[in-house]
Homo-oligomer: A and B are copies of this chain.
Amino acid sequence: MDRFRIIEGGAEKRDVRRLMLEIGVAARKAARTLALAPRQRKNGALTLAAAHLRTSAHDIVAANARDMETASAAGASSANLDRLMLNAARIESMARGLEDIAALPDPVGKVLAVYERPNGLKIERVATPLGVIGVIYESRPNVTADAGALCLKSGNATILRGGSDSFHSSSMIHACLVEGLRSAGLPVESIQLVPTRDRAAVGEMLAGLSGNVDVIVPRGGKSLVARVQEDARVPVFAHLEGIVHVYIDGAADFDKARNITLNSKMRRPGVCGAAETLLVDRAVAQTMLAPLVTMLLDAGCQVRGDPQTLAVDARVVAATEEDWRSEYLDAIISVKVVNGLDEAIGHIENYGSHHTDCIVTENPGIAARFLAEVDSAIVLHNASTQFADGGEFGFGGEIGIATGRMHARGPVGLEQLCTFNYRVHGNGQTRT
């Protein structure tokens, strides 16, 4: 199709605007068909796309090699190259991901509530797709498959804007999704990949494509999310950062404190649910602070501490005010002694990001207060913060984690990619 030609940087802004508007209008049209599509057809498209991914593995790796070469020549970091890289195992994992999503229950049409009014009207609240979802992501090309599949399963059309780095990889993956849609008899415009690297395309998506985008999901680093949150004229499902706290209460069990602290920080230090700050109640600082800090240091974690923590071990460095506001996404943790629950909650409200926070305590009343008073999307009692994940919540997958207060909060899975309407069943009722 003509509009899928690649427009490189030289294209005029007006052309990008026209192209993106066409994509938006096509997405809206596809969304209407998708909203009413039977689940078998959606699931068929996903399993067929998985098959196409497997048979195209060689071509995908070849396209990925082009992206890797360009990124490498441009001096990309080894972390970035690793995010970009696709091999047979990663492609197989993507294909399985599509099949897993196909196997999930269909969220569309689920009756969320039903009740009868005194006048005999039966009112149902039924899940329906949101409409058109724009996904803006960076180097990981597998987001093309994951995000497209979650949106398709939830009956939404998707407009994918991948990173320039992964352009060829994403295009090949997208072609497999389109083949799946075509084979299943669904509109090929159900999942569109923006066919230009021109950055103006992102601005057009954020402006909403004349009402043809219902929500934007950014997937990537803090600067991408910040730009999207700042500029989007449509709702955004995102979190800017996860400044995640573990609070060791005076009534904490020491073994739980050890295990949860270590897992929350070190299982995978780079995920948004990884702990960034450890708060220790003064009541147990004497007994627990030193062993917890030593454990973290011995595990290879840098510790940035307040004066009391600093005194524990020569390897501890002094924390600055900036540390309490930092999302390290690395093997670094800030540690502070606080005067009990109120100071812990005050610190979290002041420095936190309303993402995920945890208390370790054996006192149920203290736990209840923490869970009720800490205003974060996810609050945990005696469990690792690394459970902040749609899969771990039983959602079968997630398109991201949101810290906004509207619609979706916490992991955004299939149910959160739906809205609802009210269906009222009467037998001739009129209003007096």
Cβ–Cβ contact B423 & A117, under 8 A = no
**Which partner residue on chain B sits nearest A432 by CB separation?**
B267
**A378 x B422 contact (CB < 8 A):** yes
Give the Cβ gap from A403 to chain B, nearest Cβ, in Å. Answer: 10
CA distance A382 to B214 in the complex (A): 31
> Is A171 positioned at the interface, with any CB of B under 8 Å from its CB?
no
Q: Is the CB of B430 within 8 A of A394?
A: no
CB neighbours (8 Å) of A421 from chain B are 375-379, 409-410
With contacts A131-B405, A235-B235, A429-B387 taken as known, whether A379 is within 8 angstroms of B267 at the C-beta atoms is: no
In the complex, the answer to whether B422 meets A379 with C-beta atoms within 8 Å is: yes
Write the chain B residue with the least CB distance to A115.
Answer: B394
Contacts of A260 in B (CB 8 A): 428, 430
Would you call the interface of chain A mostly helix, strand, loop, or mixed?
Answer: mixed
Specify the chain B residue showing the minimal Cβ separation from A31. B375
> Which residues of A (156-178) have their CB < 8 Å from a CB of B?
none
Are A409 and B419 neighbours in the complex by a CB distance under 8 Å?
A: yes
Task: State whether A123 and B393 are in contact (beta carbons under 8 Å apart), knowing that A375-B421, A423-B379, A424-B381 are contacts in the complex.
Answer: yes
Q: Are A377 and B215 in contact (CB under 8 A)?
A: no
Interface of chain A residues 373 through 393 with chain B (CB within 8 A): 373, 375-384, 386-387, 392-393
A426 within 8 A of B: yes
| A256 engages B428 (CB within 8 Å) | yes
**CB-based nearest B residue for A117:** B394
Q: Which of A308-330 contact B (CB under 8 A)?
A: none
Inter-chain contact A263/B430, CB cutoff 8 Å: yes
Please indicate the chain B residues that have their CB under 8 angstroms from the CB of A79 in the complex.
Answer: none
- Which A residues between 168 and 208 are near B, CB-CB below 8 angstroms? none
Render A207-223 as a binary contact track against B, CB cut-off 8 A, 1 for contact. 00000001100000000
Question: Which residues from B are CB-within-8-Å of A423?
Answer: 371, 379-381
- Give chain B residues whose Cβ lies under 8 Å from the Cβ of A255: 428
Measured CA separation A64–B386 after assembly (Å): 58
The interface residues of chain B lying within 8 Å CB-to-CB of A267 are 430-431
Interface residue A259 (Cβ < 8 Å from any Cβ of B): yes
The one of B32, B259, B378, B419 that contacts A406, using a Cβ cutoff of 8 Å: B419
Give every chain B residue within 8 A of A226 (Cβ-Cβ): none
Q: Write out the residue numbers on chain B whose beta carbons fall within 8 Å of the beta carbon of A430.
A: 259-260, 262-264, 267, 383-384, 386
A253 contacts chain B at the CB level, 8 A cutoff: yes
- A215, B410: Cβ atoms under 8 Å? no
| Nearest CB of chain B from residue A43's CB, rounded to whole Å | 19
Q: Closest B-chain residue to A354, C-beta based?
A: B421
A256 to B253 Cα, complex, angstroms: 67
B235 touches A406 (CB 8 A): yes
Given A130-B405, A131-B405, A386 and B431 touching (CB < 8 A)? yes
Q: What are 26 inter-chain pairs, A to B, with CB distance below 8 A? A: A36-B373, A117-B393, A123-B394, A128-B375, A214-B406, A235-B235, A255-B428, A260-B428, A262-B430, A263-B431, A264-B430, A367-B425, A375-B421, A377-B422, A379-B421, A382-B427, A382-B428, A383-B429, A384-B431, A387-B426, A387-B429, A387-B431, A393-B422, A405-B419, A409-B422, A410-B422
Besides A380-B426, A381-B425, 11 more A-B contacts (Cβ < 8 Å) are A32-B349, A36-B373, A123-B393, A128-B375, A214-B406, A263-B431, A264-B430, A379-B422, A382-B426, A407-B407, A409-B421
Q: Which A residues lie at the B interface, using CB under 8 A? A: 32, 35-36, 109, 115, 117, 121, 123, 128, 130-131, 214-215, 235, 253, 255-256, 259-260, 262-264, 267, 349, 367, 371-373, 375-384, 386-387, 392-394, 405-407, 409-410, 419-431
